[in-house]
Amino acid sequence: MRFRKAFFPTLKEAPAEAEVVSHRLMIRAAMIRRLAAGIYILLPLGVRVQRKVERICREEMDRAGAQEVFLPTLNPAELWQKTGRWEVYGKELIRLQDRHGREFCLGPTHEEVITNLISREVRSYRDLPQNLYQIQTKFRDEIRPRFGVMRGREFTMKDGYSFDCDESGSERSYGLMVEAYKRIFARCGLVYGVVAADSGAIGGSFSHEFMVMADTGEEAISICEKCGYSANTEKTPVVISLPDNGGGKMEKVHTPGAHTVEEVASFLQFPSAQVTKTLLYMADEKPVALMLPGHRELNEIKAKNALGVIDLYLADAATVERLTGAAVGFAGPVGLKEEVHILADGSLEGRGGLVLGANETDHHYTGAEEGRDFKANAFADLAQAQEGDACPDCGHGMNFRRGIEVGHVFKLGTKYSEALDATYLDEDGKAQTIVMGCYGIGIGRTVAAAIEQNHDDDGIIWPVPIAPYHADVIIANMKDAECGEVADKFHADLCRLGVEAVLDDRDERAGVKFKDADLIGFPYQIIIAPRSLKEGNIELKFRNTGEREYLPIDTAAETIRAYISKELEEAASA
């Protein structure tokens, strides 16, 4: 490929809306261009990187015994309605009608479609197990698309599905996919971790996320350095130990202007852990009161799962005032105006000496006791994990790290196969329900995560297996005929040897070419300059270290090919 003819429109500056490193560099390095919010055009360099990630996925899926299919983007509503996800996915699901008024959605994931296929084709235990995957465009109408391809409304995903006769078979399939995913991310040159995760709208009994560690990651991960436990903080169990403050009676006190936990604790001279938060939410359009100690934050994912609801959002000020008869900031479980379901953190069960909002402006209760002065309808772990919380496995204090989710594997069980009648006849001729697993990789997110982990102030530092091109041959002086001739031949020699190389033959200053080479992140930069040619050498720069080496022209192409082959082999065997 000649740079002069290539469509590589690099930029000196990134648009203001580009918030994270990968977003900025993918725009500047001519990988993507924005079409609309959360929708991006992949330019040639972006396509090359994405295809390499896809190829690695295909190779490892095939190696693990999975087979590739391609499922329709347009999904009939009736399948989603059978599983109940037509409602569960809410506004993220892009719905539409055809000319006959029949409802469809653009697939954000394909559990319904693949299970429907299996239900029609599998008849006997002899037809199982099956493991099918695809690489396809997905659509999710994100409420706030951001971070470029990291959270878009249209994106490319590798999703796979296993189908087994029983739980033990499903466990084996799950294990095979976990190992395949480890190889995929290792081959992509990523430093990653496998953490326990919430299953969200996909469902299932449990799941694990593959997280690429990066300071700019969206996700917080709890890690125990002692026993190795790790989980997304959305999933991390929290056990809160509160002091016993029981024994007193409940009394209403005047707390003028004290709305927040901190203000109430300061006014009453109580620790914030003794001041109980009562947060009023709407759960599937019904009001609920969520209670937890004042020194902790609510984990909405845990609350949503505990309530078993689809939509959960904070009640507005008018609703709060209707339910409590007071201004916002004084809600409590005693004397709510309507019947409201009360879900409390487990640490509050039977606890006394609590400070509660009195459902009266500028007033709180002290000395309240759960079970005597108010009664929660249910208890659950509702708190967001904090750094230093006890590890649920060994009790040691946990640390936090940031991560980018690039893969997610789910143990689905029979959630979809039951809903869509995916059964088989066992050896005794009895109908049994197929047990499923689900396995996804965000292709674009993997590309972005690789950049987040591999960059410097000058641009991207690609791991060789997913670099758009392995080498960039730079003509340092376009006015020097010998430089041009040598570069031309050297570029041809590299290509003949199987090295993916670009020839930068633009009529630009050498400094411009060097900056673009660093920005795009070519792993090997071959500089053809008059000074080194006089000594019979070419100059080789290693992008990842910045080190330089002078190689004899006659053997340089073979040497560079050997360097690249070694890196590819090491990645493949990682």
Within-domain flag for 14: no
Domain that holds residue 194: 53-220+400-452
Within-domain flag for 368: yes
Q: The CATH number of the domain where 489 resides is what?
A: 3.40.50.800
Within-domain flag for 72: yes
Q: What are the tokens at 290? A: 């969520």
Q: What are the tokens at 147? A: 């971070």
328 and 421 within one domain: no
500 and 409 within one domain: no
Residue 155: CB atoms within 10 A of its CB come to: 22
Q: In Å, what is the CA distance from 488 to each residue of 8, 209, 319, 526?
A: 20, 46, 73, 12
Phi/psi of residue 280, nearest 5 degrees: -95, 125
Cα distance between residue 331 and residue 313, in whole Å = 16
- Note whether 363 and 399 are within 8 A (CB): no
Q: What is the pLDDT at residue 75?
A: 97
Q: What is the pLDDT at residue 409?
A: 93
Within-domain flag for 328: yes
Q: What are the tokens at 174? A: 């799950």
Give the N- to C-terminal CA distance of the chain in Å, as an integer: 30
282 and 205 within one domain: no
64 and 144 within one domain: yes
492 and 415 within one domain: no
Q: Is the dihedral of CA 457, 458, 462, 468 positive or negative?
A: positive
Per-position pLDDT tens, the chain of length 574: 899 999 999 999 988 888 899 999 999 999 999 999 999 999 999 999 999 999 999 999 999 999 999 999 999 999 999 999 998 888 899 999 999 999 999 999 999 999 999 999 999 999 999 999 999 999 999 888 888 898 899 999 999 999 999 999 999 999 999 999 999 999 999 999 888 776 555 455 568 899 998 887 878 889 989 988 888 888 899 989 887 776 689 999 999 999 899 999 999 999 999 999 999 999 988 999 999 999 999 999 899 989 988 788 999 999 999 999 999 999 999 988 888 999 999 999 999 999 999 999 999 999 999 999 999 999 999 999 999 999 988 999 999 898 899 999 999 999 999 999 999 999 999 999 999 999 999 999 999 999 999 999 999 999 999 999 999 999 999 888 999 999 999 999 999 999 999 999 999 999 999 999 999 999 999 999 999 999 999 999 999 999 999 999 999 999 999 999 999 988 887 6
Within-domain flag for 418: yes
206 and 64 within one domain: yes
404 and 366 within one domain: no
Output the DSSP codes for 260-324.
SHHHHHHHHT--GGGBEEEEEEEETTEEEEEEEETTS-B-HHHHHHHHT-S-EEEPPHHHHHHHH
201 and 88 within one domain: yes
Beta pairing partners, 138? 155
Within-domain flag for 4: no
301 and 211 within one domain: no
Q: What is the pLDDT at residue 15?
A: 86
Cα distance between residue 478 and residue 484, in whole Å = 7
Q: What is the pLDDT at residue 200?
A: 56
Q: DSSP letter at 162?
A: E
Q: What is the pLDDT at residue 540?
A: 96
370 and 412 within one domain: no
Residue 537, burial from CB neighbour count under 10 angstroms (0-12, 13-18, 19+): middle
Last residue of a domain, one of 346, 380, 414: 380
- The H-or-E segment that residue 525 falls in is strand 524-528
Total number of domains constituting the chain: 3
Listed residue (502, 446, 471) closest to 565, CA to CA? 471
195 and 76 within one domain: yes
- Note whether 142 and 151 are within 8 A (CB): yes
**Longest C-alpha distance within the chain, in Å?**
95
Q: What is the pLDDT at residue 215?
A: 82
139 and 268 within one domain: no
Q: What is the pLDDT at residue 19?
A: 85
Within-domain flag for 442: yes
Q: The CATH number of the domain where 128 resides is what?
A: 3.30.930.10
Q: Is the dihedral of CA 110, 113, 117, 120 positive or negative?
A: positive
Within-domain flag for 27: no
Listed residue (383, 360, 382, 379) closest to 370, CA to CA? 379
Q: In Å, what is the CA distance from 525 to each residue of 3, 62, 255, 460, 461?
A: 14, 34, 69, 13, 12
Last residue of a domain, one of 327, 345, 380: 380
Q: What are the tokens at 139? A: 């659509």
Last residue of a domain, one of 452, 478, 495: 452
